[in-house]
Amino acid sequence: MTYGQRLEVGAAYVPLPPHIRYKFLGLRTGVQFDNSTRNRPSSFCARYLFGIWGSADSRSAYLTALAEKWKHAQNAGLSYITDGDPNVSSSLPISLEEEPRRANASFVILARNGELKEVIESLKQIEDRFNRKYHYPYVFLNEQPFTNEFKRWTQEVISSKAHYGVIPPDHWYQPGHIDEARAAMMRQTLVDDDVIYGGSVSYRNMCRFNSGFFYRHPLMQQFRYYWRVEPGVKFFCDIETDPFLYMQDHNKTYGFTISLYEYERTIPSLWVVTKEFMRRHPEYLPEDNALSFISDDQGETYNLCHFWSNFEIADMDLWRSEAYTKYFEFLDSVGGFYYERWGDAPVHSIGAALFSRKDQIHFFREIGYRHDPFQHCPQGDHHRNGKCWCEEKDNFDYDGYSCTYRYDRLFT
């Protein structure tokens, strides 16, 4: 017998058969015990809670029978039932409700100990707006061990389990095949050109890790879907529908809220390398993919559009697929993460567009989100239903630097 759900009595939980969840709302009279008979419980609540009778199968049969009894009681207009035991003098008002269905999913947060304040701000918002009802776990990743202070504060804010992981060095640091003299020269060129993060090696480490390694971390292996959350972001609206289940039930591979153009100076050769990969591996490109989102001439050039990956909800089977694995390995082999400044946003966006069907990429219009300096504010019914606190007019969706209209054109 598989037990996938819980009996809730106060703060105590025990497993229940997967098709039923019993929530005991209270006792008409107290639960009594007979100390002379090994604390024999005098109610079915305590009898099950303490687990001192019968096999797993007999407990399941007993609880299933109680479920049927409760249904008959409800039909008769009663608010309580007894278990039929002549030694029981109390009766229990209970309700039956289905355990919320959840996907195999987690939040993932890449953060340093020094970003604790910003992490707490993001956690508080995602908990208040969504996760206090669903209790999806969190995976925190860092190239250094998290401090006890970081763990204590984050665990106080969240309503679910937290996992804290250290990134393996070969997933984070500049790989050995990179010519450091050449990389240093190219970094200085970008610094001279005032390119943001142009001289930063740690930023490049982060982009490479997010592009090709976070989903390989041992803590992520147990999950299929993830929601990336950054320190210091804002969520404007109540999220009543589970985005993970939406992804799962509708066979979506990638979800976004903001799309925009990449800074071309950071990726001068990315599309050249991508085209060569497509030439070598046309078998990886499905029919009706989203190539037209990232190219206006059937793949001859890259139009620089990408999904802003600081927010993404995605199926890690996409990144773990043979197509994307070989694509990332091909990119990594030429060194563009370090000789240029390839970001994970264009890499993920190109991967999603090429290796998914266009109908598998989803715009979460109802999720209000801000990562400075851009934000998506839901419009119309989405704004009202979500009780959003952003102003509808303060919305990046169709600004001149946004690519959302290109996404819309995929379906017209």
Q: What is the pLDDT of residues 82-97, one digit of tens each?
A: 545 444 434 444 444 4
What is the rounded distance in angstroms from the CA atom of residue 27 to the CA atom of residue 238?
34
What is the rounded distance in angstroms from the CA atom of residue 389 to the CA atom of residue 232?
17
- Pairing status of strand 105-110 against strand 225-228: parallel
Predicted confidence at residue 37, as pLDDT, reads 34
Residue type at 407 in one-letter notation: Y
Q: Is the peptide bond before 86 cis (omega within 30 degrees of 0)?
A: no
Which whole number is the average pLDDT over 380-404? 96
Predicted confidence at residue 100, as pLDDT, reads 75
Give catalytic residue positions.
312
Predicted confidence at residue 67, as pLDDT, reads 64
Q: 84: Cβ–Cβ under 8 A, 6 or more apart, which residues?
A: none
Instruction: Specify whether the CB–CB gap between 316 and 223 falls below 8 A.
Output: yes
Residue 335 has pLDDT above 80, yes or no: yes
Residue 13 has pLDDT above 70, yes or no: no
Q: 106: Cβ–Cβ under 8 A, 6 or more apart, which residues?
A: 136, 137, 138, 139, 163, 220, 223, 225, 226, 227
Residue 320 has pLDDT above 90, yes or no: yes
Predicted confidence at residue 69, as pLDDT, reads 65
Residue type at 319 in one-letter notation: W
Residue 2 has pLDDT above 80, yes or no: no
Residue 322 has pLDDT above 90, yes or no: yes
* DSSP letters spanning 128-196: IIIIHHH---EEEEESSPPPHHHHHHHHHH-SS-EEEEEPPHHHHSPPTTS-HHHHHHHHHHHHHTT-T
Predicted confidence at residue 34, as pLDDT, reads 33
3-state secondary structure of 139: strand
40-52 burial, b at 16+ Cβ within 10 Å, e below that, comes to bbbbbbbbbbbee
Which whole number is the average pLDDT over 366-390? 97
What is the rounded distance in angstroms from the CA atom of residue 89 to the CA atom of residue 110?
55
Determine which helix (DSSP H) or strand (DSSP E) holds 235, and give its type and residue range: strand 234-235
Pick the closest to residue 352 from 330, 321, 329, 396 (CA basis): 321
Q: Cα-atom radius of gyration of the chain, to the nearest Å?
A: 26
Predicted confidence at residue 78, as pLDDT, reads 59
What is the rounded distance in angstroms from the CA atom of residue 234 to the CA atom of residue 129?
10
Q: Which of 35-44, 250-259, 275-284 has the lowest mean pLDDT?
A: 35-44
Question: Percent of the chain at pLDDT above 70?
Answer: 76
Predicted confidence at residue 111, as pLDDT, reads 98
Residue 159 burial (CB count, 10 A): 12
Distance of alpha carbon 223 from the chain centroid: 9
What is the rounded distance in angstroms from the CA atom of residue 295 to the CA atom of residue 274?
12
Summarised one tens digit per residue, pLDDT across range 62-73 is 566 666 665 666
Summarised one tens digit per residue, pLDDT across range 104-117 is 999 999 999 999 99
Q: How many residues does the chain have?
A: 412
54 vs 355, residue with greater confidence? 355
Summarised one tens digit per residue, pLDDT across range 156-210 is 999 999 999 999 999 999 999 999 999 999 999 999 999 999 999 999 999 999 9
Residue 144 burial (CB count, 10 A): 10
Summarised one tens digit per residue, pLDDT across range 272-286 is 999 999 999 999 999
Mean pLDDT of the chain: 85
Instruction: Specify whether the CB–CB gap between 48 and 60 falls below 8 A.
Output: no
**Token pair 């199926």 is at which residue?**
315
